[in-house]
Structure 1
């Protein structure tokens, strides 16, 4: 009797473990298929995300700023406020003179999605957002304590000051593809 009980319990444990284990070959194949489908969906989503980012990057690098008959190319910053501006392009606005160093226009909608910071120094060709909707194009370099969200920068500012002139000016922002 003493020998039968341990053997009996051992058999019960082995049968219990064998019964709880659901490792039939079909289950493994189904699990594997589900895993592969998950991987494929994940890969597809990742590829789509890369494609969207590539398009966004292309857009972000192809900003045209037209003043009169002169066109300047600019590069956008990679931030949500710049992306919000891209969604509104093409955009033609009358920009007013301010302080002898910038042109500005109060847009009809808010663009700001990023926190404003004080850049300390504004550079000729900086495209900034002041507040929530004030688009500012700087044509002179100077120091500042005001806070902005940087939207982009003109790649080559040669002739920018002359093109913008001393008063209000019509400026067109567009994306070339």
Structure 2
């Protein structure tokens, strides 16, 4: 999310992803736009969404990107657990900045963003509270993210995702 304002169109038919246009904005422009969703918390409705036992125990996810499978080791945090509860998911990840692919979810996930300093190829993060981002190139980070997990072996990830959008499926592993 390294430029000030970028937009991308998500492909309809993504289970768990929005079919509307998504707009990314930098922290400097976020405050000036009314399109940003507020972060939701468990206190918003005084009740939490039920999470499946499989999602609560999940520590690994299979991510198939353009037919190539990668294994994601999930972080031990509420963001990763909430992501796991949305699975299985099939979606189209859109290209951004020559180093990442993203999708906008229909629902916000819990977030606790921090700036990691450096993004590593294979990092899977949540931007704001509803953008799942898969990074395929290592680079300096200017933005804050909530960690979802990390691809165990990102060798071949850049070649698998290519330069455009990428058909993706995420599935819990037992």
TM band (smaller chain): 0.5 to 0.7
RMSD: 1.6
Q: Can you give the 5+ residue segments of structure 2 that lack an aligned partner in the other structure?
A: 1-52
Structure with the higher fraction of residues in strand conformation: 2
Deviation, 1:115, is: 1.6
Aligned residue pairs total: 122
When the two structures are superposed, what TM-score results if normalisation uses the length of structure 2?
A: 0.67
When the two structures are superposed, what TM-score results if normalisation uses the length of structure 1?
A: 0.66
SS in 1 for 2:82: helix
Q: 1:82 maps to which residue?
A: 80
For residues 72 and 86 of structure 2, the distance between their equivalents in structure 1, rounded to whole angstroms, comes to 16
Superposed CA deviations along residues 21-75 of structure 1, whole A, max 9, x for unmatched, are xxxxxxxxxxxxxxxxxxxxxxxxxxxxxxx7x9844x11x21010122100110
Q: 1:154 maps to which residue?
A: 151
Superposed CA deviations along residues 120-165 of structure 1, whole A, max 9, x for unmatched, are 1000000000001000000000011200001000000111001101
Q: Can you give the 5+ residue segments of structure 1 that lack an aligned partner in the other structure?
A: 1-51
Q: How does 1:26-41 map to 2 (within 5 A)?
A: none
Structure of higher CA gyration radius? 1
CA contact (8 A) 2:106 2:130 kept: yes
Q: How does 1:97-176 map to 2 (within 5 A)?
A: 97-111=95-109, 113-176=110-173
Structure with the higher fraction of residues in helix conformation: 1
